[in-house]
Amino acid sequence: MTDTPLQNQTTKVVVSGMTCEHCVASVTEELQEIENVLEVRVEDLVKGGETDVFVVSDGPLDLGAARAAVEEAGYTASA
């Protein structure tokens, strides 16, 4: 019997209200606390607007936990 490795998943979370690199760091830190999260990438920060945040996990991402993490950092999220 061979073990099939789990494939990493990337989930896009749209975050509103970030304006600077400190905002990015806060959101990234909170999202990295979620179980199974391996990496968080923010591409093209839209100051004060909606920014795409890509969360790489080694299983399905808990979207409720992702929204709560973003809110804990002081922003709003939709997935």
The pLDDT of residue 70 is: 97
**Contact call for residues 68 and 57 (beta carbons, < 8 A):** no
Report how many domains make up the chain: 1
Does residue 6 surpass a pLDDT of 70?
no
**Contact call for residues 53 and 27 (beta carbons, < 8 A):** yes
Three-class SS of residue 21? helix
Owning domain of residue 51: 17-78
pLDDT in tens, 32-42: 999 999 999 99
Q: Is residue 42 part of a domain?
A: yes
Above pLDDT 70, what percent of the chain?
91
55: domain CATH number?
Answer: 3.30.70.100
